[in-house]
Amino acid sequence: MSAGPPHVNGLPLANRTAIVTGGASGIGLAIARRLASDGAAVAIFDIDGDAATAAASAIDAAAARTGAGTGPGTGPGAGGRARGYRVDVTDRDAIDGGVERTRDELGRPTILVNNAGLTLPGPFLDLSFEVWRRSMSLNLDSVFHCCQAVLPAMLEEGWGRIVNISSSSVHSGSPRLGAYVTAKSGVVGLTKVLALEFGPRGITVNTIPPGFIDTPMLRDAQKNGVMNVEQQTAKTPVGRIGQPQDVAAACAFLVREEAGYITGQIFGVNGGRNT
C-alpha cells in the first residue's frame, strides 16, 4: 500500500493528483482551488471547456504568485498546478479520455470529487421521462462512470479518496425536484456500497450533501420559485447562507491522509439545518 509522504513541504496533498467534475464554477471551482492550495495537482472536468481552461489558468497563476509547484518535487503529481478539460460526464468515452489526459499530464489520479450536477426542476406530473432520464444521467450515472474510470488508478496506488457531492434534499425532500432528489439519493447509496467494497484496498468513499449554499444553481432555483433565499436564511441556525468555500473545506479534510478512518459517511455541510 502506498500512502505517500504526508505533508510534503507543509502541504497535505503534495504529490497527489485530483479530478474535480463540474469544477469550472460554484462549489466545484471552490473545491478545485482548495485542493490545489493544499498541494494537489488538479484536473478540472467541465462541459464548458473554455471555463475549465480559464479556471485552471487562474489556479496556475495563483500557484506562481505563491511559489507553489516550483523547486524539488515538481513535475507529474506536483501540486500547485491545474489543467482544464472539456468533459461531458454523461459520456463515458469522454470521461475515459479525460482520465487518460490527467494521468499523462498531471500524474496518476488518486482523488476524485464527483461534483457535476443539475437540478432540472418541475412539478412531478409535468415531468417528462426524457427529463427524468437526463437528470439520472447527469446526477447519478456520471458518478458511476467517473468512479469506474478512476478506481483502477487508485487500486494501483493502494490509496484513494472519493468524495461525492450529493444534496441535503435527500434528507428532507423538495417539491418540484423529484428527479434530482431521486438521483442524489442514489449517489448516497452508491457511496455506501463503494466504501464497503474498496475500504480494504485503502480507498475511502464519502458524500457531502451541501445544504443552502450560495451557488448559481441555488440562485436559479430562486428564480424558478423553488427556493426563497431570505426565508431559508432565517431558518438556518448559524444565521447565514453557506458559501462554496464551506463545502471545499470539508472536502479538503476528507481527502487527506488523516481522514483515512472515515468512509461511507454522509458529511453534512448545512449550517445546522439537518443534524
pLDDT at 70 over 90: no
The distance in angstroms from the start CA to the end CA of the chain is: 35
Please tell me the least confidently modeled range out of 60-64, 243-247, 271-275.
Answer: 271-275
Q: Which of 85, 180, 198, 212 is catalytic?
A: 180
Question: Does 202 fall in a domain?
Answer: yes
C-alpha separations of 158 from 87, 91, 130, 200 in Å? 26, 27, 40, 10
Which of 250, 32, 255 lies closest to 159, judged by CA?
A: 255
Question: Does 187 fall in a domain?
Answer: yes
Question: Does 2 fall in a domain?
Answer: no
- Tell me how many domains the chain contains: 1
pLDDT band of residue 75 (cuts 50, 70, 90) is very low
Residue 190 DSSP SS3 = helix
Domain containing residue 144: CATH number: 3.40.50.720
What is residue 259's DSSP assignment?
Answer: G
C-alpha separations of 232 from 131, 201, 225 in Å? 27, 41, 13
> Rounded to whole angstroms, how far apart are CA atoms 128 and 134?
10
Question: Does 231 fall in a domain?
Answer: yes
Which domain range does residue 120 map to?
Answer: 17-259
Question: Does 63 fall in a domain?
Answer: yes
Q: 228 — phi, psi (to 5°)?
A: -110, 105
pLDDT at 171 over 90: no
What's the pLDDT at 143?
98
Question: Does 266 fall in a domain?
Answer: no
Residue 24 DSSP SS3 = coil
For residue 180, indicate whether it is catalytic.
yes
What's the pLDDT at 212?
87
Mean pLDDT to the nearest integer, 249-273 = 97
- Name the CA dihedral angle for 193, 47, 214, 138, rounded to a multiple of 10 degrees: -40
> Rounded to whole angstroms, how far apart are CA atoms 185 and 209?
10
pLDDT band of residue 174 (cuts 50, 70, 90) is confident
Mean pLDDT to the nearest integer, 134-155 = 98
Question: Does 255 fall in a domain?
Answer: yes
> Rounded to whole angstroms, how far apart are CA atoms 245 and 34?
8
pLDDT at 138 over 90: yes
Question: Does 6 fall in a domain?
Answer: no
Burial of residue 3, with CB atoms counted within 10 A of its CB: 0-12 exposed, 13-18 middle, 19 or more buried: exposed
Give 72's Cβ-side CA count (13 Å radius): 2
pLDDT at 237 over 80: yes
What is residue 154's DSSP assignment?
Answer: H
Give the global pTM: 0.91
What's the pLDDT at 7?
59
Q: Hey, what amino acid is at 15?
A: N
Write out pLDDT tens, residues 50-64: 999 999 999 999 988
> Rounded to whole angstroms, how far apart are CA atoms 120 and 75?
41
Instruction: Pull the grid cell for residue 263.
Output: 468512509
What's the pLDDT at 162?
99
pLDDT at 186 over 70: yes
Q: How many residues are recorded in the chain?
A: 275
